[in-house]
DNA sequence: GTCTATACGGGGATAGAC
DNA sequence: GTCTATCCCCGTATAGAC
């Protein structure tokens, strides 16, 4: 992966996340990256190839996050980490996460990288089990609820990314799940 | 409002919701509506004017829904109605709701019809009060949680719109809030 | 109010030099 | 690997007849 190719990828990721895929001309990506427009097509064939490269990159990053949650021993710790995942992603990989969320609403990419891929299903299974171990009556439904919460939290992060707000909300959420008892 | 103008509006709403604003050419709208392309511009000036008309229409519909929630007497009834709102909207006005959600992720329309407009703020206020009346310790935070839940639920409805799933989730959610009430 | 025909610009993509 | 120049289509928008 040459330096300029990498640069194109990063720039495209940022612009797609900020402005959307089809309202971002390749000319703009080239200009922003300080690169000729033709180079984009030399490296990625076409605009969609560029998006696919970004998606592949993202998939890999997500899988890594999930793996680290699954690896935790305590069921409570798993739930704790899952709640914190959106915040973690937003602080570390804001642009990517934004892009993922926007893609859900674009028909073209619905079901591609978003659709329950391996890591997502694995996470659901693991969290269901965690709830079961903690003695929740309906673990499957609890997971559904948690997924909703996480989706909603991510939306909030998009609109209101103030540090104070995030911290407040997070601790409130954790208290709901009695996660404050957890030793960090 | 002439019949064809109305038809254009409905068709555009449907197509924008399905395929997104900027991946839907005006030619397609015209064809689908069985109307000449020129007519669209005669009625709505430009493509954006068409979107604005849709948004105005939507705003009105939403305001009506909120009004009916606010009008409820019991605080618990208000909360339940709020939880049920996404489902109600999805069954009655699916296309519109879908479009609203997708718009949040398009820079152009972020902060336009989505941004906390009158009815949203009113609803938040009313629900905060409802939580307070029910004796919740931190009503403001409870509202935040509920908003998250509703966002998340809406996302779920997009991905998994099976009747059984919706009914299950909904009753689970409601039971959660009833239990909380009894606890306090 | 509605249609047909057409102008115009911009965005994706290619060719070929270096 | 990278750049410059260029092509061409398609989507928005306008003009003008009916």
Where are chain A's structural domains?
A: 1-45, 57-178
Nucleotides of D under 7 A from a protein CB: 1-6, 10-16
pLDDT digits (tens, 9 = 90+) for A2-44: 999 999 999 999 999 889 999 999 999 999 999 999 999 999 9
Q: Distance between CA atoms of B4 and B135, rounded to whole angstroms?
A: 53
- Per-residue pLDDT, B142: 93
pLDDT digits (tens, 9 = 90+) for B102-141: 887 776 665 554 456 788 899 999 999 999 999 999 999 9
- Per-residue pLDDT, A162: 80
HSE toward the beta carbon, residue A161, CA cutoff 13 A: 10
pLDDT digits (tens, 9 = 90+) for B64-101: 999 999 999 999 999 999 999 999 998 888 888 888 88
Place of tokens 């989730």: B169
Mean pLDDT of B157-174: 82
Q: Is A20 left (phi over 0), alpha (psi -120 to 50) or beta?
A: left
pLDDT digits (tens, 9 = 90+) for A60-72: 888 999 999 999 9
Lowest mean pLDDT among A37-41, A134-138, B105-109, B149-153: B105-109
- Per-residue pLDDT, A177: 86
Annotation: CATH topology of B1-45: Arc Repressor Mutant, subunit A (1.10.10)
In this complex, which protein residues place their C-beta within 7 A of any atom belonging to strand C? A 22, 24-27, 37-38, 41-42, 45-48; B 2-5, 34-39, 42-43
Distance from CA of A148 to the nearest CA of B (A): 4
Contacts of B77 (CB under 8 A, 6+ apart): none
Residue nearest to nucleotide C10 (CA to C1'): A25
- Per-residue pLDDT, B135: 92
More confident residue, B181 or B102: B102
Residue nearest to nucleotide D16 (CA to C1'): B38
Tokens of A125: 């299974």
User: Distance from CA of residue B162 to its chain's centroid?
Assistant: 19
Residue nearest to nucleotide C16 (CA to C1'): A38
Tokens of B118: 């009158």
Q: Is the pLDDT of residue A143 over 90?
A: yes
pLDDT digits (tens, 9 = 90+) for B49-58: 999 999 998 8
Rounded distance in angstroms from the CA atom of residue B22 to the C1' atom of nucleotide C18:
38
pLDDT bin (cut points 50, 70, 90) of residue A78 is very high
Percentage of chain B modeled with pLDDT above 90: 57
Q: Is B25 left (phi over 0), alpha (psi -120 to 50) or beta?
A: beta
Percentage of chain A modeled with pLDDT above 90: 55
CB pairs < 8 Å spanning A and B: 92
- Cα nearest neighbour of B109 on chain A: A19
- Per-residue pLDDT, B8: 98
Q: Is the pLDDT of residue B10 over 70?
A: yes
pLDDT bin (cut points 50, 70, 90) of residue B183 is very low
Geometric angle at alpha carbon B99, from B54 and B143, rounded to 5°: 110
**pTM (whole model) above 0.85:** yes
Rounded distance in angstroms from the CA atom of residue B151 to the C1' atom of nucleotide C10:
37
- Per-residue pLDDT, A138: 93
Distance from CA of B19 to the nearest CA of A (A): 6
Q: Distance between CA atoms of A73 and B26, rounded to whole angstroms?
A: 55
DSSP secondary structure, B91-133, as one string: HHHHHHHHHHHHHTT-GGGTTTTSS--HHHHHHHHHHHHHHHH
Nucleotides of C under 7 A from a protein CB: 1-6, 10-16
């Amino acid at each position: 992966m040459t330096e300029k190719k990498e640069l194109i990828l990063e720039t495209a990721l940022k612009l797609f996340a900020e402005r959307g895929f089809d309202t971002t001309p390749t000319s703009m990506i080239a200009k922003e990256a300080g690169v000729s427009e033709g180079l984009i097509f030399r490296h990625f064939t076409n605009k969609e190839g560029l998006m696919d490269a970004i998606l592949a990159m993202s998939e890999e990053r997500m899988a890594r996050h999930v793996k680290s949650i699954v690896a935790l021993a305590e069921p409570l710790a798993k739930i704790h980490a899952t709640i914190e995942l959106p915040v973690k992603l937003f602080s570390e990989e804001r642009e990517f996460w934004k892009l993922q969320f926007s893609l859900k609403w674009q028909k073209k990419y619905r079901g591609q990288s978003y659709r329950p891929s391996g890591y997502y299903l694995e996470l659901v299974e693991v969290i269901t089990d965690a709830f079961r171990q903690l003695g929740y009556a309906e673990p499957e439904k609890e997971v559904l609820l948690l997924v909703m919460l996480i989706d909603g939290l991510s939306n909030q992060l998009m609109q209101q990314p103030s540090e104070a707000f995030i911290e407040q909300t997070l601790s409130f959420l954790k208290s709901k799940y009695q996660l404050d008892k957890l030793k960090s």
